[in-house]
Amino acid sequence: MKTIIINASPRKSWNTAQLLREARKGAESVGAETEYVDLYDLNFTGCRSCLACKRKGGKHPGCAWKDDLSPLIDRILAADALIIGTPIYYGEPTAQLRALMERLVFCVAPYEPGSYFDGKVDVGLIYTMNAPQAYYETSLRPYLDNIERLFTMALHGEVRTYASCDTLQVKDYSQYDMAYFDEAAKRAHRDEQFPTDLAECLKMGEELSGWSRS
Burial of 85 from C-beta contacts in 10 A (0-12 / 13-18 / 19+): buried
Burial of 11 from C-beta contacts in 10 A (0-12 / 13-18 / 19+): middle
In the bound state with ligand FMN, the residue whose beta carbon lies nearer, of 56 and 171, is 171
**Strand order of the sheet with strand 81-87?**
33-38, 2-7, 81-87, 121-128, 156-164
Beta strands 2-7; 33-38: pairing state: parallel
In the bound state with ligand FMN, the residue whose beta carbon lies nearer, of 62 and 93, is 93
User: To the nearest whole angstrom, how small is the minimum distance from the Cβ of residue 187 to ligand FMN?
Assistant: 14
Q: How far apart are CA 78 and CA 180, in angstroms?
A: 44
User: To the nearest whole angstrom, how small is the minimum distance from the Cβ of residue 42 to ligand FMN?
Assistant: 17
Q: How far apart are CA 26 and CA 83, in angstroms?
A: 11
In the bound state with ligand FMN, the residue whose beta carbon lies nearer, of 73 and 88, is 88
User: To the nearest whole angstrom, how small is the minimum distance from the Cβ of residue 22 to ligand FMN?
Assistant: 13
User: To the nearest whole angstrom, how small is the minimum distance from the Cβ of residue 15 to ligand FMN?
Assistant: 4
Residues that bind ligand FMN (CB under 6 A): 9, 11, 14-17, 87-91, 128-131, 167, 169
Are 147 and 101 within 8 A, CB to CB?
yes
Coil/strand/helix, residue 54: helix
User: To the nearest whole angstrom, how small is the minimum distance from the Cβ of residue 88 to ligand FMN?
Assistant: 4
User: To the nearest whole angstrom, how small is the minimum distance from the Cβ of residue 117 to ligand FMN?
Assistant: 29
Q: How far apart are CA 98 and CA 84, in angstroms?
A: 12
In the bound state with ligand FMN, the residue whose beta carbon lies nearer, of 39 and 131, is 131
Q: How far apart are CA 159 and CA 179, in angstroms?
A: 37
Q: How far is CA 65 from CA 4, 7, 16, 186, in A?
A: 21, 22, 28, 43
